[in-house]
Amino acid sequence: MSSKLTALNEWVDQVATHTRASQVSWCDGSAAENERLIAAMLESGDLEKLNPDTHPDCYLHRSDPDDVARVEHLTFVCTEDPDQAGPNNNWMAPAEAHALMKGLFAGCMEGRTLYVVPYCMGPVDSPLSRCGVEITDSPYVVVNMRLMTRMGADALARIENDGHFVKGLHSTGELDPDRRYIMHFPEELSIQSFGSGYGGNALLGKKCHALRIASYQARTEGWLAEHMLIVGIENPQGEVRYVAGAFPSACGKTNLAMLIPPAAYREAGWKVWTVGDDICWLHPGEDGRLWAINPEAGFFGVAPGTGNKTNPNALAMLDCEAIFTNVAVTEDNQPWWEGLDDRVPAKDWRGRDFDPRQGPAAHPNSRFTVSIKRCPSYSEVAESASGVPIDAILFGGRRAGLAPLVLEARDWRHGVLLGAGMASETTAAATGAVGVVRRDPMAMKPFCGYNFGDYWAHWLEVGSKLSHPPKIFQVNWFRRDADGRFIWPGFSDNMRVLEWVLDRCLGQAQVRETAVGGLPEDGAINTDGLEQHPDMEALLEVEPSAWLAELDDIAAHLEQFGGRVPGELRQELDRVATRLGEAG
Q: Residue 146 contacts by C-beta under 8 Å, 6 or more apart in sequence?
A: 27, 29, 34, 152
Residues 6+ apart with CB under 8 A from 562: 453
Q: How many CA atoms lie within 13 A of 125 on its CB side?
A: 5
In whole angstroms, give the CA distance from residue 333 to residue 456. 48
Strands 150-151 and 113-121: antiparallel
The count of C-alpha atoms lying within 13 angstroms of the C-alpha of 352, restricted to the half-sphere facing its C-beta, is 12
Give the residue from 177, 167, 170 showing the smallest Cα distance to 64.
177
Which residue from 537, 574, 538 is spatially nearest to 554, judged by alpha carbons? 574
Burial of 259 (0-12, 13-18, 19+ CB in 10 A): buried
Helix (H) or strand (E) segment spanning residue 520: strand 517-520
Q: List the one residue out of 196, 8, 164, 188 whose CA is nearest residue 84.
A: 188
β 388-396/290-293 pair status = antiparallel
Cα 369–chain centre separation = 14
DSSP string of 317-351, one letter each residue? TSSSS-EEES-EE-TTS-EE-TTS-SPPPSB-TTS
Beta-carbon count within 10 A of 432 CB = 9
Q: Where are the beta strands (DSSP E) in 99-149?
A: 113-121, 130-136
**Which has the closest alpha carbon to 19: 131, 142, 172?**
172
In angstroms, the CA 239 to CA 584 distance is 42
Q: How many helices (H) and strands (E) does the chain have?
A: 18, 29
Q: Please tell me whether residue 562 adopts helix, strand or coil conformation.
A: helix
Q: Which residues are catalytic?
A: 251
* DSSP conformational letter for 127: T
Instruction: Look up residue 109 and give its amino acid.
Output: M
DSSP for 428-439, please give it: HHHHS-SS-EEE
CA distance 18 to 24: 13
